[in-house]
Structure 1
Amino acid sequence: MKAIVYERTGDPSVLELVDRPVPEPGAGEVLVRLAVSGVNPTDCKGRRQWPLPAGWQTPGQDGAGVVEAVGAGVDQELVGERVWVWEAAWQRPWGTAAEYTVVPVRQAVPLGGASFDLGACLGIPFLTAHRCLTAGEYMPGKLHPGALSDHVVLVQGGAGAVGNAAVQLAAWADACVVATVSSPEKGQLAAAAGASFVVNYREQDVVREVRKIAPDGVHTIVEVSAARNAAADVALLRAGGAVCVYADDGGDEVTLPIRPLMVANARWQFVLVYTAPRAAKAQAVTDVAAAVAQGGVRVGAEAGLPLHRFPLAETAAAHQAVEDSVVGKVLISTAEE
């Protein structure tokens, strides 16, 4: 099979297209013939920093394809099932930037009739967004239509991949969703994703505008840049509200006023999907799969998430696009052309 491999950490130039034997699924695993691989920022961070579990690594946590074989203890009826894959490369060498990957069966989720493009976009962004929308005092442990009715959710950075996922999932769950963006073009993307209100933080006062929408404050904030937005977040939380921080854009340290947050019994929840509680992650997979089955989440420019496609041989360029902060989702076509 064709696969992208790197044997040392570094910039995208360490990525090589090689021929490798098709892996065989072990007990409790499935072999997936991939159609599309999704590229996430952590794929790039991992390529630069993370240890290589087998002395080499195929990158790519997310992807979609068809189950081709199963290991011992796995139902043979799964063969031929269309699935989406999550965390394929987390502490394992077989990522999704290849024609095949092997994962534990729980990490291959039925996709039904949804597109492979959608499936490759689900894993890291949507599981992260789900955790951000369910970790607060006021937030439910499960998402479904109606779960967030009477809730106001603020998504800081509503045009990014996780921001888009948070907007879509919150809207599917019937929240009032406010998204902040940095340009009118990104505002159009956030609105297309389902944001009820959009605030351009470069042209508008975020606190004033959000307070017009939610005079009592917001229930939860999905935060991409805590260092930059901390003051606004503190000002906008209602009593018992939560700020869920999933990235460190704009700075890796944050200063918080203790007394106001104590009085509000506020929560600051830090989120990394890879190390999230197992039960919370399992619920996220269940709920995201339900949203897909119900048509509650989409991809493409019409859903606020433009797609950028690369062939497998150009995976280095795909990684560079993510490092250059391209707006939208980067996908790699993994099937042989």
Structure 2
Amino acid sequence: MKSIVYERVGGSDVLRLVERVEPEPGPGQVRVRVAVSGVNPTDWKARRGALGSSLPPTGQVPNQDGAGTVDAVGEGVDPARVGQRVWIWEAAWQRADGTAQEAVVLPARRAVPLPPAASFDLGASLGIPAMTAHRALTVHPDGPSVLGPSTLAGRTVLVAGGAGAVGHAAIELARWAGANVVSTVSSPRKAALASAAGAHHIVNYRTPDAAEAVRKTAPDGVDMVVEVDPVVNAELNQQVIAPNGVVAIYADTSGSQLTVPLRAHMFANTRLQFVLVYTMPDAAKRQAVEDVSAAVAAGALRAGEDAGLPVHRFPLAETAAAHDAVEGGAVGKVLIDVRHDGRSKPPASR
């Protein structure tokens, strides 16, 4: 089978297309014939060595997320899973095999059933973005730990960077859960993307009256901030956060040092919550998988043109270019077509 492998950390030039022996699933594992592989920022960061883990002796296959079809199962796994369409999460976390290859063996729980109406594009776009968004929306001390219809009713969520993959998922999940959703963006194009995702209110954070605009939609302040750029947005967050609100930080886009006004946040009883899917509690991961699956089944999570989110596609042999696109800040979702039989999307009759 064809696989993308890197044997040393570095730029995208370390990625090589190789032929490898197709793996067999062991106890508790499934083998998935990968149709689409999703690329996230942590994929190129891991390739550059930013996550600090050592490379396996056989080399590392990149990419955590993907979607495809189970074609073999190991001991202890229900044989009925063969033929099941699935979405994949954490394929490469502390493992040598990610989804940038024609088949991947992984623990059965990391291959989650994908509803018939959901495309492989959507499946490959879930994983890290949707689970990150879920965690950010469920860490409020007085909020729900489970997402579903009306679980966030009466609350206001501010999604910074609503045009990005995590921001897009956060808007969709928050709206599905009944929240009043505000999104901050930096341009009319990104405003259109956040609006297409379902944000009720759009604010350009670069305007002088951004805080006032947010407060008009949420006079008592926002209960939760899903934050992609805490350094740039520190002052805005302090101005709009509600008492006992949470700023959930999942990225450090502008730098690694964050300065916050202690007294203002102390009086507001603000919680700064950092979010990284890989190291969050296992119970939170299981709940995220369950709720994300429910949202997909309900049609609340969408992908590509259906959601107004640009999709940048690459063949497996051009995985390096796909990584470069994400590292370069491509707006939308970057996907790798591993299988070329026209079945990335479900049959039109479904």
For Structure 1 versus Structure 2, the TM-score category normalised by the shorter chain is over 0.9
- The residue type paired with residue 27 of structure 1 is P
Question: After superposition, where does 1:292-303 map in structure 2 within 5 Å?
Answer: 292-303=296-307
- Verify: 1:167 aligned to 2:171, yes or no: yes
Aligned to 1:18: 18
Give the distance between the partners of 2:306 and 2:78, measured in 1 at CA.
37
- The residue type paired with residue 157 of structure 2 is V
Residues 57-86 of structure 1 show CA distances to partners (whole Å, capped at 9, x for unaligned) of 000100000001111111111111000000
Aligned to 2:32: 32
- Verify: 1:249 aligned to 2:287, yes or no: no
Aligned to 1:218: 222
Contact 1:164 1:304 survives alignment (8 Å): no
Which of residues 137, 145, 160 in structure 2 aligns to 1:133?
Answer: 137
- Verify: 1:42 aligned to 2:46, yes or no: no
Residues 122-152 of structure 1 show CA distances to partners (whole Å, capped at 9, x for unaligned) of 0000000000000012321000011111110
Give the distance between the partners of 1:302 and 1:190, measured in 2 at CA.
13
Give the distance between the partners of 1:204 and 1:298, measured in 2 at CA.
33
Partner secondary structure for residue 261 of structure 1: helix
Aligned to 2:9: 9
Give the distance between the partners of 2:188 and 2:4, measured in 1 at CA.
37
Aligned to 2:344: none
Residues 249-295 of structure 1 show CA distances to partners (whole Å, capped at 9, x for unaligned) of 11111111222222222100000000011101110000000000111
Aligned to 1:99: 102
Contact 1:163 1:222 survives alignment (8 Å): yes
Of stretches 133-142 and 27-36 in structure 1, the one that deviates more from structure 2 is 133-142
Partner secondary structure for residue 126 of structure 2: helix
Aligned to 2:337: 333
Aligned to 1:145: 149
Contact 1:138 1:241 survives alignment (8 Å): no
Judged with a 3 Å threshold, the aligned counterparts in structure 2 of structure 1 residues 54 and 283 are, in CA distance, closer, same or farther, namely farther
Aligned to 2:91: 88
Report percent identity of matched pairs: 60
Question: After superposition, where does 1:153-302 map in structure 2 within 5 Å?
Answer: 153-203=157-207, 205-302=209-306
Judged with a 3 Å threshold, the aligned counterparts in structure 2 of structure 1 residues 304 and 138 are, in CA distance, closer, same or farther, namely farther
Of stretches 184-193 and 129-138 in structure 1, the one that deviates more from structure 2 is 129-138
The CA deviation at 1:53 is 2.9
Residues 97-133 of structure 1 show CA distances to partners (whole Å, capped at 9, x for unaligned) of 0000111111000002110000000000000000000
Partner secondary structure for residue 227 of structure 1: coil
- The residue type paired with residue 20 of structure 1 is R
Give the distance between the partners of 1:179 and 1:23, measured in 2 at CA.
44
Partner secondary structure for residue 179 of structure 1: strand
Question: After superposition, where does 1:52-91 map in structure 2 within 5 Å?
Answer: 52-91=55-94
Moved over 6 A (4+): none
Taking structure 1 as the reference length, the TM-score comes to 0.98
Judged with a 3 Å threshold, the aligned counterparts in structure 2 of structure 1 residues 205 and 251 are, in CA distance, closer, same or farther, namely farther
Give the distance between the partners of 1:260 and 1:111, measured in 2 at CA.
45
Aligned to 2:119: 115
Taking structure 2 as the reference length, the TM-score comes to 0.94
- The residue type paired with residue 40 of structure 1 is N
Which blocks of at least 5 consecutive residues in structure 2 are unaligned? 342-350
- The residue type paired with residue 36 of structure 2 is V
Q: CA RMSD in A?
A: 1.1
* Pairs aligned (count): 337
Give the distance between the partners of 1:169 and 1:18, measured in 2 at CA.
38
Partner secondary structure for residue 283 of structure 1: helix
